[in-house]
Structure 1
């Protein structure tokens, strides 16, 4: 006997709620393993051989002022100390045999040397503080006529032709002694300004000799002894920095 109103099992009629399957639980996967670290390959660089201890020996004639260059050297080359070696103008060429370089006075006639001009010095007349020559601000060679003009043994300027000058009756003296003698009023002496300042005395004064010969100060070294240290010092006196190209 058929039953009215019944619908076949398993079919949902219109308007009948539809049962949905519950969502399947999300699958869980283990976290990815971090990549294996690759070991760094370190190559052992050869150690630089330490530099041999050394000293830069710089000769200096009286009156030269290398202070600013020495300061620059100490900053740039702190591992190489500088030894300042006093030398005399008369023997400056021979002194270079035992030096790395030297600050000298020109002229310096020797083909075995490299020479770089640094600066010129004005000559001055040194006289007693009571001398009439000090009454003016500057002097000329003509103003020295009749004066006893001393030429030092270690003369840095070379022979001077002074019309009317009188030669001293005593033997030549070193610059320091000649200046001390000039202070007594016995005579006068002509030297580069730096030497007058170096041997300054209260009883002596000096005035520029405007038509006198300039004294040129230079850096010199043996051609066969151009070492890296010498090249570094050349760069310093020429104003090159540590990053400058030659």
Structure 2
């Protein structure tokens, strides 16, 4: 049996809804037809994409890897059919948090002035590639190493790291902090879209306790509640003020690179203009 686009659409709907029933309702299909499409796709690939052994349907490791490839393929197909309107469709710019920091508003304002025929939509998506690998956006602001296959990148600037500590704690009274100052506290890590990992610390002073969260809002809440401390970049302090969180320079941590990324195949026709303008706004173009 040959695989068609409908098989990919069914799989992506199941992946996003975590339910065959909801996926069928979303696609306007019957539940058996979606199940058959999913089974046919698994048979064709000779891998199990969905774990049906739990009460809640979940993707397998192979399913998660295939989801990104399927999303790119479906997006490319849809864009090809809409080629006549590509120059004027919105340019979707994803970010996981803080966007371009202080350069965000200048970029949006200048884009609107210089490219009035193409709207620039800024979307926060809690994902390591801010929705880019899944085809939810056309370009994304990414911090740290970018190793996702199929993405092209442009380094825009680097920014200093900062510590985030509870405002009522002793570390908030310090003018600046070092990595060792944070090592004795539980470290709050955004493991879904965050930049910081334990590898930021040398092995001999690495924090031994961690608190994991899934987005920036929960990261801030955990720190403000005194559950731990965090490390991020300067833009976080500028874009995410919180009265329960005090930001301090992190003196001995390396600066973090900030990239503009896009899919190397079938990019939005305005991506190159976005790269050029982002470089100008950030002072690197």
Q: TM-score range by the shorter chain?
A: 0.5 to 0.7
40, 47, 54: which is aligned to 2:89?
Answer: 54
Alpha-carbon distance between aligned partners in 2 of 1:53 and 1:148, rounded to the nearest angstrom: 48
5+ unaligned residues in a row in structure 2: which ranges?
1-83
Instruction: Work out the CA distance in 2 between the residues paired with 1:119 and 1:61.
Output: 17
> For residues 126-175 of structure 1, what are the alpha-carbon distances to aligned partners after superposition, in whole Å with 9 as ceiling and x for unaligned?
1122222122211111222422222222321233326163404x554533
Matches for 1:8-87 after TM superposition, within 5 Å: 53-65=88-100, 66-87=104-125
**What RMSD, in angstroms, separates the aligned Cα atoms of the two structures?**
2.9
Aligned residue for 2:180, secondary structure, equals: helix
Unaligned runs of 5+ in 1: 1-48, 241-245
User: 2:221 aligns to what SS in structure 1?
Assistant: helix
Instruction: Kindly indicate whether the alpha-carbon contact (under 8 Å) linking 2:93 and 2:120 is maintained by their aligned counterparts in 1.
Output: yes
Q: Where do 1:167-206 residues align within 5 Å? A: 167-168=209-210, 171-172=212-213, 174-206=215-247
Match of 2:255 among 214, 231, 234: 214
Relative to the length of structure 1, the TM-score reads: 0.67
Residue in structure 2 matching 1:141, options 172, 179, 199: 179
Aligned CA distance change for structure 1 residues 70 and 161 (closer, same or farther; 3 Å): same
Identify which of structures 1 and 2 has the higher relative contact order when contacts are C-alpha pairs closer than 8 Å and 6+ apart: 1
How far the C-alpha of 1:195 sits from its partner, in A, is 2.2
Distance change >3 Å, CA 50–CA 208, structure 1 → 2: closer
The TM-score with structure 2 as length reference comes to: 0.58
Q: Number of paired residues?
A: 192
Change (3 A) 1:74 1:164: closer
Q: What does the per-residue CA deviation read over 1:12-32, in whole Å, with 9 as the maximum and x for residues that have no partner?
A: xxxxxxxxxxxxxxxxxxxxx
CA shift for structure 1 position 108:
0.8
